[in-house]
A = this chain, B = another copy of it.
Amino acid sequence: MGRPRKFSREQLQDAALALVDARGLAGLSMRTLAAELGTGPMTIYNHVANRADLDVLVVEAVVARADWPQPRGVDWREDVQCIATAMWRAVRAHPHAIPLILTRRSRSPAALAVAEALLDALSRSGRSGQRLLVAFRAVSALVMGFAQAELAGPLAVEAGEAAEAVIRRIRALPRQRYRRLIEIAGAAARSNPEREFRAGLDLLLDGLA
Using a CB–CB cutoff of 8 Å, the interface residues on chain A facing chain B are 98-99, 102-107, 111-112, 115-116, 119-120, 123, 128-130, 132-138, 140-146, 148-149, 151-154, 156, 158, 169, 173, 177-181, 183-184, 186-188, 190-191, 196, 199-200, 202-208
Identical subunits present = 2
- From B107, B179, B184, B207, contact of A203 by CB (8 A): B207
Most buried by B among A138, A141, A154, A207: A141
Give the secondary structure class of A's interface.
helix
Interchain CB contact (< 8 A) of A144 among B105, B129, B149, B169:
B149
Question: Are the CB atoms of B104 and A102 closer together than 8 Å?
Answer: no
Known pairs A105-B156, A132-B184; A141 contacts B149 (CB<8 A)? yes
List chain B residues, Cβ under 8 A from A145.
Answer: 140-146, 148
CB distance from A147 to the nearest CB of B (A): 8
Find out whether the CB atom of A115 lies under 8 angstroms from the CB atom of B154. yes
State whether A187 touches B132 (Cβ < 8 A): yes
Contact B141 A199 (CB under 8 A): no
